[in-house]
Amino acid sequence: MIGEKQPRRKVYYDGDIQYVCDAVHWSALDQTVWKVQKIVLNSDWTLDEIFETDGYDNPATDVTVVSALTFR
């Protein structure tokens, strides 16, 4: 289905920003097969904005790597 998330999940936190990464099962974090959502939270931890990468073509190695990605 279009828009459906893949089963492998990794979440990183950076202050009031969450990065939710998903890919197919058994994907290594350094493989360029991840899609990443950047979720910006308000000061009361409610959702403010969501951005995401274009496709399943990014690494998800660590928070430094995912925060440097280009989001739309």
What ranges do the domains of the chain cover?
8-67
pLDDT given at position 35: 97
d(CA 44, CA 31): 34
Q: What pLDDT tens digit does each residue of the chain (72 aa) get?
A: 456 789 999 999 999 999 999 999 999 999 999 999 999 999 998 999 999 999 999 999 999 999 999 999
Q: 15 vs 3, 28, 41, 67, 70, CA distance in Å? A: 27, 25, 9, 12, 19
